[in-house]
Structure 1
Amino acid sequence: MTDTDRPQGTPGPQPKGSTSRAGRDLPAAIGVGGTLGVSLILILIFVPEVWFPVVAVAIGVASWEVTKRFRESGIKVALIPVLVGGQAIMWVSWPWGVTASIVALAATVLVSMIWKLLGQGLQSAPDNYLQDLAGTTLVLCWLPLMGAFGASMVLEDNGAARVFTLMIVVVCSDVGGYLFGVSFGKHPMAPAISPKKSWEGMVGSLIFGVAGSVLTVMFVVDAQWWIGLILGPVLVICATLGDLVESQVKRDLGIKDMGTLLPGHGGIMDRLDSLLPSAFVVWAILGALL
């Protein structure tokens, strides 16, 4: 059994002080995570209008990371439509809302269909057309479409508070899952997908996530506490499943991380895996209940 496949609670040999039981360079991960967190908090407090371009840039970089990994594995995602169309999906939501993002998604998928069809000219049939188009569509839905929900939240009433809710609850879920998983994790949740996730960690995520959700909704969003009680467990489950989805994608691709840009974390996409589906959940639930 390799260290990568070792279930949580039975860690392999590690250089003392260099990595955590979760298999990461803990000091680097804390330093990078703290710097990113503080930067985003300052943006949301003092210049919330900058949030939108920050998310758009992050989605662009993450899209490039994922597309590069897919192409290395033989899935030739349409790079230019993904990068250009992905930014269109993001930016049209600023003046026209997420409905416009869905329209832009449909247009980008249509362009991608033609792009892949004509990539080798009309005299030869494209190779692996269905596989490549499916990969392209997945990237567009997974990153820029979900990112549009997260970016556009800041434009709504009390938008910065809604974004804070997303960030705080996901961080609480991660912290609770890490603490309970490392301390008590003995029963793997999905050993075939992510061996280090445990049911004990999930309990910690739910406890910390729901508490963070209730407190954030009450004192940051200034709404009724029961909204946080609804949002918390849904968001924790969605964030956990989002992480598992990326784990399965990386397992299929035979890689550990999507990129190397963030020491101790991997790539930008490795930090967005749980945030992207969670952004849609926060947008939908707070939009419906506030």
Structure 2
Amino acid sequence: MQDSAATRDETPAPPPAPAAPGAKTSRAGRDLPAALAVGLGLGVGCILLLVFAPKVFLGVIAAAMAVATWEVTKRLIEADVLVPRIPMLLGGQAIMWLAWPWGPEGVVGAFGVTTVVIMVWRLLGHGAGTAPRNFLRDTAVGIFVLAWIPLFAAFGILTLLADDGNLRILVFMICVVCSDVGGYTAGVLFGKHPMVPAISPKKSWEGFAGSLLFCVVGAVLTTILILDGDPAVGIVLGVALVLAATLGDLIESQVKRDLQIKDMGTLLPGHGGIMDRLDSLLPAAVVSWLVFTTLL
């Protein structure tokens, strides 16, 4: 998990784990029926919470981010990157929950305090009389994960806390589903030109075009029908979400390539871990909050 970029780029991704006997696999090597069942169940559950108990959804987000942080820190520690797990878990919860009473100020304040705690924890938590090994690397990675998971998720919570926040999150989720469906369909049917084969060999420009088309159409329709907004806002939202989601997926792919793993966890059949389901959602949550806040 060290050194030169050339070493990282040339390290082949680990082979996909074999699927269960009789299971149909996608081109990505996933158990497709299991992935569809899990995705559908999660989607229906989230929609029901948003409609009938939107504040409970805040707790669901916080719990999911705790699991995702645990998954990522576990993988990092296995690779001898000694990130301070305890302050990251506790501080991550503070970042998200303080958005409720204090909004962006609470989020930024909690992130700043947790960053300081991570530095001090790694500096002093190695034992008296010896200097910490790889202090700069471990604290930098810890702060990166803190921003990548709970800080990005806090923007979703800020969106949820708006007057029509549950509807905004619903639009966000529908757009993400449209992007996924469009990208998968176009990639399977027409995918021939890889976007960045060194990072994600399965991702194609044709799939990206499908994501863009489906997401923009979905964003325009939901912005008009659910938020009673201008269709131009939907166009901006759709384009921004696809760009953010694609980059988020590539970022996690590169992290996993550095760690030489296929998935962050095993909690969700057909998907991997919680973080493997959230990789594109987290940066998209930041972008959607920005679009909703400035343009609606």
Alignment partners' CA distance in 1, 2:154 and 2:23: 39
Alignment partners' CA distance in 2, 1:113 and 1:54: 29
Structure-2 residue corresponding to 1:245 = 251
Alignment TM-score, normalising by the size of structure 1: 0.94
Structure-2 residue corresponding to 1:90 = 96
Residue type matched to 1:207 in 2? L
Distance 1:110 1:4, change over 3 A: closer
Find out whether 1:19 has 2:34 as its counterpart.
no
From 201, 216, 227, the counterpart of 2:222: 216
Alignment partners' CA distance in 1, 2:258 and 2:167: 37
Where do 4+ consecutive residues of structure 1 move more than 3 Å? 3-6, 14-17
Structure-2 residue corresponding to 1:46 = 52
Structure-1 residue corresponding to 2:264 = 258
Residue type matched to 2:288 in 1? V
Aligned-residue CA RMSD in angstroms? Answer: 1.7
1:48-197 paired onto structure 2 within 5 Å: 48-197=54-203
Question: What is the identity percentage for the equivalent residue pairs of Structure 1 and Structure 2?
Answer: 58
From 262, 265, 280, the counterpart of 1:274: 280
**Runs of 5+ in structure 2 lacking a partner?**
1-11
Superposition deviation, residue 246 in structure 1: 0.3
Alignment partners' CA distance in 2, 1:252 and 1:246: 10
Alignment partners' CA distance in 2, 1:4 and 1:82: 28
Alignment partners' CA distance in 2, 1:213 and 1:219: 10
- Secondary structure of residue in 1 paired with 2:115: helix
Q: Which digits, 9 at most, give the CA deviation of each residue in 1:1-40, with x for residues without a partner?
A: xx9689xxxxxxx977521122110000000000000000
- Secondary structure of residue in 2 paired with 1:266: coil
Alignment partners' CA distance in 2, 1:42 and 1:16: 33
Q: Which digits, 9 at most, give the CA deviation of each residue in 1:233-284, with x for residues without a partner?
A: 1110110000000000000000000000000000000011000000011111
**Runs of 5+ in structure 1 lacking a partner?**
7-13
- Secondary structure of residue in 1 paired with 2:263: coil
Alignment partners' CA distance in 2, 1:236 and 1:67: 27
Residue type matched to 1:168 in 2? I
Structure-2 residue corresponding to 1:28 = 34
Aligned 8 A contact 2:77 2:83 in 1: yes
Aligned 8 A contact 2:14 2:262 in 1: no
Tell me the number of residue pairs that the alignment of Structure 1 and Structure 2 aligns.
282
Q: Which digits, 9 at most, give the CA deviation of each residue in 1:40-62, with x for residues without a partner?
A: 00000011111111000000000
Alignment partners' CA distance in 1, 2:286 and 2:168: 12
Alignment TM-score, normalising by the size of structure 2: 0.92
Q: Which digits, 9 at most, give the CA deviation of each residue in 1:194-236, with x for residues without a partner?
A: 0000000001000001001101101111111110011111110
From 277, 284, 288, the counterpart of 2:290: 284
Residue type matched to 2:31 in 1? D
Aligned 8 A contact 1:52 1:152 in 2: no
Aligned 8 A contact 1:188 1:199 in 2: yes
Alignment partners' CA distance in 1, 2:257 and 2:105: 33
Alignment partners' CA distance in 2, 1:123 and 1:5: 40
